[in-house]
Amino acid sequence: MDRLHVLADELTTRARRIEALGDELVTHAAQALWTSVAADAFREQVQRRRLDIRHIAGRLDDAAAQLRQLAQLAAERRHLLVNLAGAPGADVVHRFIHQVW
């Protein structure tokens, strides 16, 4: 379960880095000394790519959130199994827990 949180954190970190790279791209395009109709079209294209990049970062954030939810669900299920350990058939539950986790 901890590994799921680590992976989710990594996805979130990468999403922020991707967004930063998109922002840097726009900044560099805006700072370019090139002026013309083609330059304006290029800058507009860069702006559109930045939106694409933000969408990708959002997908990574969504995946990270789903991983965190999965980790939470797994923790709840594990807690439930541990609580059942005192019930009849606890030895079966105990073996199952150690096989899975």
Q: What is the pLDDT of residue 2?
A: 86
- d(Cα 31, Cα 28) in Å, to the nearest integer? 5
Using the predicted structure, report yes or no on whether residue 19 has a pLDDT greater than 80: yes
Please provide the average confidence, as pLDDT, over all residues in the chain.
Answer: 88
Q: What is the pLDDT of residue 101?
A: 55
Question: How does pLDDT run across 44-57, given as a tens digit for each residue?
Answer: 999 999 999 999 99
pTM reported for the whole predicted model: 0.73
- d(Cα 46, Cα 52) in Å, to the nearest integer? 10
Using the predicted structure, report yes or no on whether residue 89 has a pLDDT greater than 80: no
Using the predicted structure, report yes or no on whether residue 16 has a pLDDT greater than 80: yes
Cα distances (Å, whole numbers) of residue 70 to 8, 9, 21, 37, 44:
10, 14, 29, 50, 40
Beta-carbon count within 10 A of 86 CB:
8
